[in-house]
Chains A and B, each alone.
Chain A
Amino acid sequence: MKIQKNIDRRSFLKSSALAGGGMMLSFSWFSEAKAAEKVEALNLADQWSELAAYIKITPDNVVKILVPNPEFGQNVMTSLPMMVAEELDVDWKDVVVEMGTHDNVKYGPQFTGGSNSVRMYWKPLRNAGAAARQMLIEAAAQTWGVSATEITTKAGVLSHSSGKTAKYGEMAAKAATLTVPKEVRLKAPKDFSIVRNSKKNTEGLKVVTGKPLFGMDYRVDGMLIAMIQHPPAFGMKLKSFDATAAKKMPGIKDVFSFKLYDDGFEQAGFDTRTFNEMIAIVGNSTWEVMNARKKINAQWEAAGDLKETMMGRGGKTEKIVPGRLETTSLQFELMAEYAKKPAQQLRKDGDPEAAFKNAAQIIERTYNAPFLAHNTMEPMNFFAHVEADKALVAGPIQAPGWMEPTLIKLLNLPADKIEIQMTRMGGGFGRRAYAQYAYEAARISQKMKAPIHLIYTREDDMTYGIYRPMYTATYRAALDVNKNLIGFHVIGGGIPENPVHANRFPAGAVDNYLAEGWEIPSNITIGAFRAPRSNFNAAAEQSFLDEVAEAMGKDPIQMRLDLLKRAKENPVGKNNDYDASRYIGVLELLKEKSGWGKPENAGKKRGVAAYFCHASYAGHVVDMVMRDGQPYVESVTSAVDCGVVVNPDAARNMVQGAVVDGIGQSFYGALTHKDGVPEQNNFHNYRMIRHNEAPKKIDVHFVENDIDPTGLGEPPFPPVFGAVANALFKTTGKRYYNQPFMSEQSKS
Chain B
Amino acid sequence: MAKYSLKINGKTQQVDVDPSTPILWVLRDHLNMPGTKFGCGMAMCGACTVHLDGNAVRSCSLPVSAVGKSAITTIEGLSANGTHPVQKAWLEHDVAQCGYCQSGQIMSASALLKSNPNPTDEEIDAYMSGNICRCGTYLRIKEAIKAAAKK
Contact = CB atoms under 8 A, between A and B. Distances in A.
Interface stretch (A61-69, A212-220, A296-304): A212-220
B117 to A, nearest CB: 19
B134 to A, nearest CB: 5
Contacts of B133: 377
Chain A: interface size category: 35 or more
Given A424-B98, A427-B100, A691-B124, A656 B136 contact: yes
A661 B138 CA distance: 10
Contact of A209 (B76, B97, B125): B76
B91 interface: yes
A682 B94 contact: no
Contacts of B90: 204, 207-208
Interface string A185-228: 00000000000001011011101111111101101000001000
A683 B132 contact: yes
Contact of A683 (B36, B40, B103, B141): B40
Contacts of B56: none
Contacts of B128: 691
A694 B36 contact: no
Given A201-B96, A684-B44, A210 B35 contact: yes
Given A209-B35, A209-B81, A653-B137, A690 B129 contact: yes
A694 B40 contact: no
Given A213-B99, A377-B98, A225 B76 contact: no
Contacts of A694: 136, 138-139
A234 to B, nearest CB: 22
A600 to B, nearest CB: 23
A181 interface: no
B37 interface: yes
A208 B96 contact: yes
A728 B25 CA distance: 43
Contact of A664 (B95, B103, B106, B136): B136
A527 interface: no
A287 B134 contact: no
Contact of A200 (B94, B97, B98, B129): B94
Interface string B114-138: 0000000100111011111111111
Contacts of B32: 219
B97 A287 contact: no
Contact of A379 (B17, B38, B142): B38
Contacts of A695: 139
Contacts of A657: 97, 135-137
Contact of B37 (A216, A424, A428): A216
A378 interface: yes
Contacts of B140: 653, 656
A225 B33 CA distance: 16
A200 B88 CA distance: 12
A378 B37 contact: yes
B16 to A, nearest CB: 11
B59 interface: no
A683 B37 contact: no
A210 B100 contact: no
B53 interface: no
Interface in A536-594: none
Contacts of B138: 660, 690-691, 694
Chain B: interface size category: 35 or more
Contacts of B35: 209-212
Interface string A649-690: 110011011111100100000000000000000111000111
Contacts of B142: 691
B149 interface: no
A200 B82 CA distance: 15
Nearest to B1: A250
Nearest to A650: B94
Contact of B102 (A208, A217, A287): A208
Nearest to A694: B138
A291 B96 CA distance: 33
Contacts of A376: 98, 100, 134
Interface in A101-138: none
A665 B132 CA distance: 14
A371 to B, nearest CB: 17
A288 interface: yes
A204 B30 contact: no
Interface string A676-716: 00000011100011111011111000000000000000000
Given A287-B25, A653-B97, A207 B102 contact: yes
A406 interface: no
A204 B96 contact: yes
Contacts of B81: 209
A208 B134 CA distance: 17
Nearest to A284: B29
Given A207-B102, A426-B98, A691-B128, A697 B139 contact: yes
Given A210-B36, A661-B135, A691-B125, A204 B41 contact: no
A656 B139 contact: yes
A696 B121 contact: yes
B29 to A, nearest CB: 4
5 contacts: A201-B96, A204-B90, A204-B96, A219-B32, A691-B128
Given A73-B96, A204-B90, A653-B94, 18 more contacts: A200-B91, A201-B94, A204-B94, A210-B35, A250-B1, A377-B132, A378-B37, A459-B41, A657-B137, A660-B138, A660-B139, A661-B136, A682-B41, A683-B45, A690-B130, A690-B131, A691-B141, A695-B139
Interface of A: 72-75, 198, 200-201, 203-205, 207-214, 216-217, 219, 225, 250, 285-288, 291, 375-379, 424-429, 455, 457-459, 649-650, 653-654, 656-661, 664, 682-684, 688-692, 694-698
